[in-house]
Amino acid sequence: MKNNDLQIIIAQLDFMVGDIDGNAAQILSAAQQAHDQYGADLIVFPELTLTGYPPEDLLFRDSIRIRVEKALSRLCSSLPPELYVLIGYPRKAEGTLHNAAGLIYQGRVIAEYFKQELPNYLVFDEKRYFQPGDQPCVVDVRGHQIAITICEDIWHAGPMSQARNAGAELMLNLNASPFHLNKETVRKELLLKRAQEGGMPIVYANLVGGQDELVFDGGSMVVDARGEPTFRAAAFKAGLFPVFFDVENKLAPRLVSVAPDLSKEASAYSALVLAVKDYVNKNGFKGAVLGLSGGVDSALTLAVAVDALGADRVEAVMMPFRYTSQMSLEDAEMEANALAVNYKVIPIEPMYEAFMNSLAKEFEGTEKDTTEENIQARCRGVILMAISNKKRFIVLTTGNKSEMSVGYATLYGDMAGGFDVLKDVPKTLVFRLCEYRNSLTPDNPPIPQRVIDRPPSAELAPDQKDEDSLPPYPVLDAILEMYVERDFSADAIVAQGYDSETVRWVIRQVDLNEYKRRQSPVGARITARAFGRDRRYPITCKWPAGE
């Protein structure tokens, strides 16, 4: 860095939705550090910094305007006066609510920008709350013309064109861009295109943290006027990151460091860990409890929970029944010991027999079917929820995306809980994530290899295997990816070479089990389209299957 460089701090931080006072305090602390430790000229925070993102229907509350204005007033009077501070907040102007960014300097907001491009697809719902702006915002900072934009603005050519025509030399872009697999590649390609169109560098400051099912991965970056990255922050990590711009060379950014791309497995695993950590901690749970079956899904969930919370805040419970194999008992104990968690074994046979005795007359004259299997799962759900209530531990459920798609789960049984870690993780990715997690601690792998290698089973009936009820997981996941994430019709999937009968069975199961998913716990979103905010289908419906 040269002494006359323009120094900007990217505040890649984790903010709490609704905690306006707490978020303001975090802004103040970060700004003070940017001033005292770094001697920075400007600090850039993520989108809707004061309210957290997404605030959803909190934006309809009359009091939000008052609270935001009070927080802004406190910040203006408390921030270092010689530091430029760029934050996001909802702003009501002339009776209209906007997604705004304000630049604070010397005790006042000297410039304000209203987001022009409001996303209204997938997990985004901004047109429900905001009206778009239509004007650029280019402000003088230390004698340089700097443009301000917000998130979706960078996905469209218009705001960059406006900024260029207004004489901007550099663009600052505040973001709350949620993670999904391959998102980093999409962002890099996007920034390359916009920087070349505008002929100027871009500072892309992104949020980090978990918010319900959304995970924000950070990955803030700077690209030069050619779109080449000169800085990228590590993904999934909060921090203040200084970047520098040569004032004698059209604010060309200096090369700082470019964090390497993460593998698909590393990205997914990091997202799950961050999601669990923030969901548990932000909602005030003391820890987490889960049923440990000896199978691959619960083993991976346990590893994620420990990496998110620490072993001392995680309890694992094996709840064996007559169909539980000795191998499952051994594997569950090995998993718990490898991760050093509190481990209990609570057999469900007495509970199951009590239920069956109570239901004997009701079931008289009927044949055994999945009802008896579901009672086993519901016994386990009762145990876990009792532990949850008593210890203030959240129950982590272990159903993966493949199972949840086709309803291979029991309502009020293995679906009973507060957060489904693997809800958006296809079974084929579950296996790869297990191998990845083992590679992190090869001397003490938390998931025994035979758990990964043996055929998956719910163990609710003698010699039961998942593939007795489901297509092979590689086939199932490929069909689900096309139908759930890409909206392919049955005919379009069959045209890809898949068996017609299998395709139509899978699609019918997905459609029929919307009612189950609607009652399932929230879970981390890691694919381009998850169940929940992304995919909203009616339960009561006569739409032809596969159309």
Measured distance CA(190)–CA(289) in Å, rounded: 41
Q: Is 333 one of the annotated active-site residues of the chain?
A: no
Structural tokens at position 220:
């803030």
The upper half-sphere exposure of residue 488, i.e. CA atoms within 13 Å in the direction of its Cβ, equals: 20
> Which of 225, 75, 53 shows the shortest CA–CA distance to 151?
53
In the sheet where 229-232 sits, what is the strand order?
138-141, 144-150, 170-175, 202-206, 221-223, 229-232, 257-258
Structural tokens at position 541:
């419906």
213 neighbors 532 (Cβ within 8 angstroms):
yes
> Which of 390, 422, 376, 430 shows the shortest CA–CA distance to 521?
422
Find the DSSP H helices in 310-411: 326-339, 349-358, 360-363, 370-391, 401-406
From 117, 126, 137, 151, active-site residue: 151
CA distances from 181 to 105, 215, 302, 530 (A): 38, 11, 22, 12
Residue 341 CA to its chain's centroid (Å): 25
From 47, 184, 403, 459, active-site residue: 47
Measured distance CA(111)–CA(117) in Å, rounded: 19
Q: Is 137 one of the annotated active-site residues of the chain?
A: no
The upper half-sphere exposure of residue 141, i.e. CA atoms within 13 Å in the direction of its Cβ, equals: 34
Q: Are strands 84-93 and 42-44 parallel, antiparallel or unpaired?
A: parallel
Q: Are strands 287-291 and 257-258 parallel, antiparallel or unpaired?
A: unpaired
Look up residue 457 and give its amino acid: S
* DSSP per-residue string spanning 404-468: HHHT-S-TTTTT-SSEETTTT--HHHHHHHHHHHHHHSTTS-SS-HHHHHSPP---SSTT--GGG
535 neighbors 226 (Cβ within 8 angstroms):
no
Cis peptide before 538 (omega within 30 of 0): no
427 neighbors 477 (Cβ within 8 angstroms):
yes
Find the DSSP H helices in 47-100: 63-78
Measured distance CA(169)–CA(504) in Å, rounded: 55
Q: Is 115 one of the annotated active-site residues of the chain?
A: yes
Strand partners, 345: 318
137 neighbors 112 (Cβ within 8 angstroms):
yes
Return the active site residues.
47, 115, 151
